[in-house]
Structures are given as C-alpha cells and as structure tokens.
Amino acid sequence: MKIMLVPFNPVVGDIYNNLKRMCKIIQQSAADLAVFPELSVCGYPPKDLLDKPSFIDDIRQAVSLLAQATAETGIDIIVGCVDTGIVDGKRQLYNAAAYLSGGKVQRFVHKSLLPTYDVFDEHRYFTPAESVTVLTIRGKRFGISICEDLWFETMRKYRVDPIEKLIEKNIDYLINISASPFEEGKVEKRLNLISSVGKRCGVPLLYVNQVGGNDGIIFDGGAVVVNGKGEALTQVDRFSEEALVYDTDEKYTPSTFKFPDPDDDLIEALTLGIRDYTHKTGFKTVVLGLSGGIDSALTAALAQRALGSEHVKGVSMPSRFSSEGSKTDALHLAKNLGIECFTIPIEPIFQSHLSHISPFFQTDQWDITEENMQARIRGSILMSLSNKHRWLLLTTGNKSELAVGYCTLYGDMCGGLAVIADVFKTRVYELAYALNRDREIIPESSITKPPSAELRHNQTDQDTLPDYGILDGILRLYIEEQQAVEDIVTAGYDRETVLRVVQMVDRTEYKRKQAALALKVSVKAFGEGRRIPIVQNYIPLDHCPIDSL
C-alpha cells in the first residue's frame, strides 16, 4: 500500500479553496491512501469561527464533497476536520479525523487529548474522545491519533494515554495527524518523541504536520515514518508542502533523523511567517523603516527572502541625531538586498511639532517626550505610505526591547506584523551573521556598532539597559522559564539588575497589549499565549514585610 503524507498549508476559514487544493493533490497522486494534517479542511487554529453554526456545517459539507473524490480516484483519504455529536441533549464539537473511502465518509475519529495552554485553547471548543479508534484499511489495522494524543509521555498532565490504548488493540500502523507549531529547538523534541512512541508501539508510525503561517503561529510541516524500533525510515524536509509517499511493501534502510542548523531553522521559520501572513491577508508588498541598525536590517533581509526584492520597500528617516554611518548603512543594506529605499528627513516635521507643542510643556528640559515625538513622526510617515500604497508595515523591534518597554507606542511599534518580536537581541546578532555566511547582506558596521535609537546625541541602548548578554539571560529565565527573582539571582545574576529588569517587564504590559502581531518562535512569546493582566501588582510574599501584618 502506498500512503501519501501531505504537509498541507491551509488558510484558516477558507474552506472552499482548501478543499479545492486537496482535490487537486488527490487527482495528481498515485497513492492508495492520502493523509492530511489536523483540521486541514478549515485550517488550524480556527478559534471562534467554531462558534458559527454555518462554519461547522460548511466543514461537514466539504468533507462529504472530498469523500466523492475517493470514488473518482480510488484513493482513500484521512483528513483533519470537525465532527459533531449530541451528549445529554447538547451539541458537541470534536476535533476529528475523517476516514473517506468509496465515495463516502466511513468513520470519524475524535481527538483524545485537548491542549489548553500557551496558544492552545481546545477545551474552549471541543469535547475529548470517549475512546480510541482503529480503522481497517485494505486489510491493515491503523490506529489514528491527532497531534496532542502523541505527547502524553512528555506532558504527563493527562489522565489517559490514547497511544497505550491503541497499542492494546493490536494495530499494524499508527498514524498521527498534527498541527504542531514551530518553536526553536522543538524539532529535536518532536522527532525524538516520534521515535520513542514508534519504539513503544512496536509498529511503524506515520506522522504528518501542518505547514504554513496562520496569524502569528508558524507551522513547520514535515512528514516522517519510523519503524517499530523508532528508527527513521523516510522523511521530507520541513517548511514546504512536499508530500512523502511511504510504500508499506518496500524495504527501507533505517537512517538517522535530519536535525537542522538552529540559525538556518529560525530563518526558515521567520521567512515562512512573513510570506504567509503577507499573502494570506491579501498584501503583496511590505514597507519598513531602515535606521541603519541591526534590527531593521535583519527584518528587511528576512522580508526580501520571503517576498523578493520588488515587494519590499525601505524608508530611511534621518534626524539631527542620525549618524552619517547609520544613513550610509541603511542605503548600503537596500543596495545589497536590491530593494527600493526612500529617504524622508524628519527634521522639518520635528521642528514643526516642537514649535506648536512645546509652548504647552512649561519647561525647556529635554526628556523622553521629545525622543518619543521623533519615533511617532516616523511611525506616522510609515503608516501614511502603508495606507496610500496598501503596503503591509513591518515593525522591527526585538523581544528584548519589547520585554522592557524600550519602544514607543504609536511610534516604532506601529505596524501590522512584528517580525522579530520573539527574537532576543543576542539572537538577532547570531541570525545576522548567519545571513552573512556566504556574502555580506547586512553591512558589517550595522552589526558591530553599539546599538542606539539615535533619539538624542551620543545615545546608546546601554545608557538605559543592561548589556544585552545579561539582559537576555534574565529575560529568558523570567519570561520563558517563569523563574522567580531569587532563582534568577541564584543562577548568577546581580540582584539589583534582576529586580530592575523584572520591574521594567511588569510595568510595560500595557505596551505589549497594543503591539503588532508577533511571529511566535519561542516557547513563550508575547501575545495570546502569555496572558498577564495589565492592572496587577503581584509581589512575592517573601519580598513583603509579613511581620508587620
């Protein structure tokens, strides 16, 4: 039997075109069984679209239409979709896999483990399966699992292990259809898990993952088959819709897993995230400010990689504080990337703002007000170009800046997509060097000069912030690992610095709630997967004078 695993790239909610593309894939295949990822019919995650009865009805109609293709082609299909049922008189939704054969929907298989953490919120919508399901397809017994069902042995937060239940039913093969998001380092965990589960089952495990970007979530795709010893038999590269065809009658020589270079992997993910967000929202071209610094340079290079030079527009907006080096670096970058770059000096606009507003300041003292004014002038220019030309505005701030609020609301935070908002500053440098591996794309001086917002004379980031090596270490422990102050200090960081950084993070939550959508590439990104109240004043009790109570 030839089984085709398809890392499908759906558009959330675009049921008609998702179905149309699936039918085309089926018609061009010579497989016996085609397997599509979790919720492929409607795209993952559909969120509150699932609350619309018409949406559910359309998904079920699409599944029935797809079933007709099995009669026309003779190819059976397993596809991720939504099923409904009645429990205690109430309609229930199930995250499901539909088995289609002979022109009909033969069976629905329901997902057992529903993740409700980070960006996942499946208990909000779905009901878990009451039992596991084995399908008999062409004389073989296939255990069907859906994404999280595979992760029981690593999560240990669920009461039921659906894989163990399937093993008890004497299956010949285990299939897992997934919509598993990308995050740095996860591919190794995922492949090791697949190997472990394959070994535990003692039968071949066939895995296929959704590919593509939906909102800020990036799915890295990929398909792999391991044998009953957990050894890789065959796999395809991630970040594409390349299908894997596994022949159950063919003898495969076990091989080792392909583990990617971490820098290249992150670059691929961000590139895919930009491309899909831009195209799926109906844009063709993006615009961004080019300061001559490393953040805007990296963002521009990733955008050019995703969309091509003709679809990336840069804008240099120098002020009295912009160094000649920064102005030159911005133009040098644009030339290296082959992108068009406009130069719009902000000094006349800045002077006009000052002349009209400063009489109401009641002080001549220069402070952050005048600095933010420059950032907001730049934001206004970029938004005006975005509106006029229908270009998507990319913001260029990194995770370190966003974490501590080193950014300006309605200024450099303006935009529709925050490309590197989940990438720490130290990681930005590493990616810049990776992009420059074969030739200079990002000017060397943009990488080596001290980082600066250039909103006042001789300004550097370290006038306000700790060294980025120290800052990022603290932020990683506090935000991504949820560690307490004392634990971070024990890890080797200065107490006063830790307290200062933690306070900056906590008091700038209001900024992040108004930030552009960020591409998620870490275990804990700012956005819907991190839900911290704006109005809160949590102080650990061991920092409080409890004795005075």
Q: Give 149-159 pLDDT, tens digit per residue.
A: 999 988 767 88
Q: Which residues contribute to the annotated binding site for deamido-NAD(+)?
A: 372, 401, 511
Check whether residue 160 and residue 307 sit in a common domain. no
In angstroms, the CA 441 to CA 397 distance is 19
> Does residue 177 sit in the same domain as residue 70?
yes
* Inside any domain, residue 473: no
- The answer to whether the CB of 283 falls within 8 A of the CB of 313 is no
Domain boundary among 215, 249, 283: 249
User: What residues form the annotated binding site?
Assistant: 117, 180, 186, 289-296, 372, 396, 401, 511
User: What is the b/e burial string over 101-127, where b = at least 16 CB atoms within 10 angstroms of the residue's CB?
Assistant: beeebbbbbbbbbbbeebbbbbeebbb
What integer is the mean pLDDT of 478-506? 96
Catalytic residue check, 407: no
The one catalytic residue in 42, 147, 201, 407 is 147
Residues 302 and 201 in one domain: no
d(CA 471, CA 488): 12
Do 272 and 393 belong to one domain?
yes
Q: Give the DSSP letter string of 351-420.
A: HHHHHHHGGGTS-----HHHHHHHHHHHHHHHHHHHHHHTPEEEE---HHHHHHT-S-TTTTT-SSEETT
Burial of 469 (C-beta count, 10 Å sphere; 0-12/13-18/19+): exposed
**Interacting residues of 473 by C-beta distance below 8 A, sequence separation 6+:** 491, 493
Any idea what the CATH number is for the domain that residue 218 is in? 3.60.110.10
Token pair 């190794």 in the structure block, residue: 188
Residues 378 and 306 sit within 8 Å (Cβ to Cβ)? no
Q: By residue range, what is the domain housing residue 326?
A: 267-457+509-527
What is the CATH classification number for the domain harbouring 416? Answer: 3.40.50.620
- Given a cut of 70, whether residue 441 has pLDDT beyond it is yes
- Using an 8 Å Cβ cutoff, are 172 and 142 in contact? yes
Give me the count of residues in the chain.
549
Give the model's pLDDT for residue 463: 84
Q: Is residue 497 part of a domain?
A: no
| Shared domain check, 201 and 62 | yes
Tokens describing residue 352 = 């006009």
Cβ atoms 129, 173 nearer than 8 A: no
On whether both 241 and 286 belong to a single domain, the answer is no
| Per-residue pLDDT tens over the stretch 154-193 | 876 788 999 999 999 999 999 999 999 999 999 999 999 9
23 is catalytic: no
Looking at the fold, whether 240 and 375 belong to one and the same domain comes out as no
Q: How confident is the model at residue 63 (pLDDT cuts 50, 70, 90)?
A: very high
Is 548 part of a structural domain of the chain? Answer: no
Angle between helices 425-435 and 262-280 (to 10 degrees): 90
Q: In this structure, are 335 and 362 located in the same domain?
A: yes
pTM of the model: 0.95
Is 240 a domain residue?
Answer: yes
The yes-or-no verdict on residue 51 having pLDDT over 80 is yes
Instruction: With a cut of 90, say whether residue 119 has pLDDT above it.
Output: yes
Q: With 0-12 CB in 10 A as exposed, 13-18 as middle and 19+ as buried, what is 520? A: buried
Q: End-to-end CA distance of the chain, in Å?
A: 73
Residue with the bigger pLDDT between 457 and 390: it is 390
Residues 390 and 446 occupy one common structural domain: yes
With a CB cutoff of 8 Å and minimum separation 6, the contacts of 302 are 267, 270, 271, 274, 419, 420
Q: Which two tokens stand for residue 356?
A: 């009209």
Q: Which residues contact 279 (CB under 8 A, 6 or more apart)?
A: none
Residue 487 lies in a domain: no
- Bridge-based pairing state of the strands 286-289 and 312-316: parallel
> Predicted confidence band at 249 (pLDDT cuts at 50, 70, 90)?
very high
The share of the chain scoring above pLDDT 70, in percent, equals 100
Is the pLDDT at 453 greater than 90? The verdict is no
Q: Determine the pLDDT at residue 335.
A: 97
- On average, the pLDDT of the chain sits at 95
State whether 294 and 243 are in the same domain: no
Question: Tokens 């085709």 identify what position?
Answer: 4
Q: Which of 42, 111, 165, 268 is catalytic?
A: 111
Q: Which residues, including other chains, have CB under 8 Å from residue 59's CB and lie 6 or more apart?
A: 15, 41, 42, 81, 82
pLDDT at 294 over 80: yes
Query: Would you say residue 371 has pLDDT above 70?
Result: yes
**Do 301 and 182 fall within a single domain?**
no
Is residue 281, in this structure, part of any structural domain at all?
A: yes
> What pLDDT sits at residue 462?
86
Answer for the pair 219, 213: CB distance below 8 angstroms, yes or no: yes
- Per-residue confidence band for 364, with pLDDT thresholds at 50, 70 and 90: confident
Concatenated DSSP letters for 75-98?
Answer: -EEEEEEEEEEEETTEEEEEEEEE
Binding residues for L-glutamine: 117, 180, 186
Residue 147 falls in the annotated catalytic set:
yes
The DSSP string of 163-212 is HHHHHTTT-SEEEEEE--B--TTHHHHHHHHHHHHHHHHTS-EEEEE-EE
Q: Is residue 44 pLDDT above 80, yes or no?
A: yes
- pLDDT of 156 reads 66
Q: Are 307 and 280 in contact (CB under 8 A)?
A: no
Q: Structural domain tally of the chain? A: 2
* Residue-level pLDDT at 457: 85
- pLDDT of the residue at 258: 83
pLDDT at 432: 98
How many Å apart are CA 115 and CA 217, to the nearest integer? Answer: 15
In the numeric block, the tokens 């990022």 are attached to 472
Q: Is residue 489 part of a domain?
A: no
What residues contact residue 437 under an 8 Å CB cut-off, 6+ apart? none
